[in-house]
Chains A and B, each alone.
Chain A
Amino acid sequence: MLRDTLKTLLSAYGPSGNEHAVAEAVKGLIAAHVDSMRVDALGNLIVEKFGTDEHGKRIMFSAHMDHIGYVVTNIEENGFLRVNNVGGISLNLSTARHVIFENGVEGVLYCEPAKGEEKAMRHLFIDIGAESKEDAEQVVQLGDMAVYAPDYIELGDHRVASPAMDDRCCCALLCELLMYLDEPRNTVVGVFSSQEEVGVRGAKVAAYSVNPDIGVGLDVTAWGDTPEVKLPAVELGKGAAVKFIDRSMIASPAVRDALLKAAEDAGVPAQREVLPFGGQDGSAIQHTRAGVPAGCLSIPCRYVHSPVETIDMRDMEGALKILLKFVENA
Chain B
Amino acid sequence: MRTEDFLREAAALPGLSGNEQAVARYIADAFRPFCDEVRIDSLNSVIAHIEGRGPKVMICAHLDEIGLMVSRIEEDGALRMRNVGGVDPRILPGMRVTVHGKETLPGVIGAKAPHLLTEAERKKNYDRDDLFIDLGMSADHVKELVQVGDLVQLEGGFTKLLNGRCAGKTMDDRSCVAIMLRAAEALQRMDTRADLYFVASCQEEVGGYGAMTAGYGVAPDFGIVLDVTHARTPGAPALEVCDLDSPAAAMGPYIHPLLRKKLVEVAKEINVKLQDEVMPRDTSTDTDDLNAVRGGVPCILLELPVKYMHTSVELLDMHALTECARLLAAYLAAIEDSWRDELWI
User: Which residues does A use to contact B, with CB under 8 Å?
Assistant: 224, 230-233, 244-245, 249-253, 256, 271-274, 276, 286-293
- Jot down 6 A-B pairs with beta carbons below 8 A, ordered by A: A245-B82, A253-B19, A274-B149, A287-B213, A290-B217, A291-B45
**Contacts A274-B149, A286-B209 given; does A293 touch B72 at CB 8 Å:** no
Cβ of B12 within 8 Å of any chain A Cβ, yes or no, is: no
**A250 CA to B73 CA in the complex, in Å?**
20
A247, closest chain B residue (CB): B206
Contact bitstring B256-278, A, C-beta under 8 A = 1, else 0: 00000000000000000000000
Cβ of B17 within 8 Å of any chain A Cβ, yes or no, is: yes
* Residues from chain A with Cβ under 8 Å of B82 in the complex: 245, 274, 276
Cβ of B225 within 8 Å of any chain A Cβ, yes or no, is: no
Q: Shortest Cβ distance from B245 into chain A, in angstroms? A: 36
- Number of A-B residue pairs, CB cutoff 8 Å, is 78
Q: Shortest Cβ distance from B211 into chain A, in angstroms? A: 11
Q: 3 closest pairs, A vs B, by CB?
A: A250-B18, A291-B213, A290-B217
Contact (Cβ within 8 A) B214 A290: yes
**A256 CA to B150 CA in the complex, in Å?**
12
* Residues from chain B with Cβ under 8 Å of A245 in the complex: 18, 69, 82, 84, 149
| Given contact pairs A233-B148, A276-B71, A287-B209, a sample of 15 additional A-B residue pairs in the complex whose CB atoms are under 8 Å apart | A230-B72, A230-B80, A250-B18, A252-B42, A252-B43, A253-B18, A274-B71, A274-B82, A274-B149, A276-B82, A290-B213, A290-B216, A291-B209, A291-B210, A291-B213
**A250 CA to B71 CA in the complex, in Å?**
13
**A96 CA to B228 CA in the complex, in Å?**
52
Q: Shortest Cβ distance from A295 into chain B, in angstroms? A: 11
Cβ of B70 within 8 Å of any chain A Cβ, yes or no, is: yes
- Residues 190-212 of B contacting A (Cβ, < 8 Å): 203, 206, 209-210, 212
Contact (Cβ within 8 A) B42 A250: no
**A287 CA to B149 CA in the complex, in Å?**
21
Q: Shortest Cβ distance from B215 into chain A, in angstroms? A: 9
* Residues from chain A with Cβ under 8 Å of B69 in the complex: 244-245, 274
**A256 CA to B72 CA in the complex, in Å?**
18
* Residues from chain A with Cβ under 8 Å of B149 in the complex: 244-245, 256, 272-274
**Contacts A274-B70, A274-B148, A291-B43 given; does A250 touch B19 at CB 8 Å:** yes
**A244 CA to B21 CA in the complex, in Å?**
16
* Residues from chain B with Cβ under 8 Å of A290 in the complex: 41-42, 213-214, 216-217
